Structures are given as structure tokens and as C-alpha cells.
Amino acid sequence: MKLLLVHQLPGLEKSTTLVGRAQRILKAYPSGQVMLISFTRNAADDLRGKLKKRFLSEDEMRRVITGTYHSIMSRFIRAKAVEVGLNPNFSIVDESSTLMLYRRLVENSTQYTDLFREWTLSEDDFNDDKKLGKKEYNRIANTLSLLINNAHPKSLLTGEFDKDVYKRLKLQDFSFGKLNKDKQNQVVAALYKIFLDSITHLRETNVITYDLIFVYQLFDG
């Protein structure tokens, strides 16, 4: 496999360059396929439009896959859905729905209440036995999302996170940094357990989140 990096400023015909190269590859390898991945839907639509203008052969069009990272990976997951325990007709929920799910699971994870209170409350509020409120639950849910989004997919399969993830959590949340190393590990372990609970919940409701798309691709191996 040969990789090509096209690095240019906006408006300098990167997509035209990719389409032209894809056309040459398809002609050189009559049985091969080409995948063109973009970060945004608009860019993916632009690629498809230029492909239709450049490719006259229906066979060539069938051998080209275009889309965003998420749309292409979701296509692959649907093809392997049964193998990863999903119904092929699963739906994908957006970030706001994911955060709502995380918050609901955090609220129900009462075994971590004392740990989360020590983490998110000030020393005075903690000593006064103040209960966790909306602000704290939202903060925990957002930290969980941050943990998932910044972790390597293999870490999400093993629960073993590297130092960079801890650094990001400290930068995002000063109170996380005030915890000693043992408490930080306990918080991350609790968040990871809630993440695993979210996978079970999502499978039961036949939906997945954007966060999980890159994780599911590893389940087969």
C-alpha cells in the first residue's frame, strides 16, 4: 500500500488532485478499489460531484468509496455488525445525545458517589456532605467524553490509558489535577467502567455513538 499526502491551503484543488490520481489508479488496476476519505460532509459531497464529472464508466464509479471517516467506518461496521453484536440496522446518536447518556449513567453509578464528590467538590462542600448536582454531573459526563475522544482505540478495549490522556484531563479540569495519583487512577477506572456500561446500553437499544465507531473496527481482531 502506498500513501500519498496532499497538503495545500484551502481552494488550491486538493480534491481535484485526489480525483485525478484515483482515476489513474483505477485504470492501472482494473480490479482494484480506491477509498477517498474526508473530514467533512461538504468535502465528501464535493469529491462525489467531481468523480461523477470525471468518471464515465459505471464500473469505475462502483470501485470508488467516498465519505467522511464516520460514514465509511459505519458502513464497514454494518457489514460486520453481527460479528460485533449489533443489528445491521443500528442508528448513530450525536454528541449531545451521547453526553445525556453518559450523565444518566453517571447519576446511576452510586458506587462512585464518594469518589466523584471528592473529585468535583471544593473541600468545604465535601466536608459539609454536599450532594452532587447538575453542574457536577455534567462535568463528570464531559470528562468521560474527553477521556474517550482522546484515548487510543486499543486503550478503550483494555482500560489502560497512557500518560498523555492524564495530561489532557489535568489541563481540562484543575480539580482532577489536585487528586493524588492513586485517586486519579480510581477516577479513570470508574469512568472507564461507565463507558463499558454505555456500550451495553447502546447495544440493547441498537445505537452506537460516534465515539465508538473507531473502537468497533478493532473488535474483529
- Give the model confidence (pLDDT) of 17-61 as tens digits: 878 888 888 888 888 888 888 878 888 888 888 887 776 577 777
Residue with cell 452506537: 208
What is the C-alpha to C-alpha distance for residues 149 and 102, in angstroms, rounded to an integer?
Answer: 13
Task: Specify whether the backbone of 176 is left (phi greater than 0), alpha (psi in -120 to 50) or beta.
Answer: alpha
Instruction: Classify residue 13 by its DSSP letter.
Output: -
Cross-strand pairs, 65: 35
Q: In the structure, what pLDDT confidence band is assigned to residue 220 with cuts at 50, 70 and 90?
A: very low
- Give the model confidence (pLDDT) of 156-206 as tens digits: 888 899 888 899 898 888 889 889 999 999 999 999 999 989 888 887 787
- Give the model confidence (pLDDT) of 7-21 as tens digits: 666 666 777 787 888
Give the phi and the psi of residue 166 in degrees, each rounded to 5: -65, -40
Which 3-state string (H, E, C) describes 31-51?
CCCEEEEECCHHHHHHHHHHH
What is the C-alpha to C-alpha distance for residues 147 and 165, in angstroms, rounded to an integer?
Answer: 7
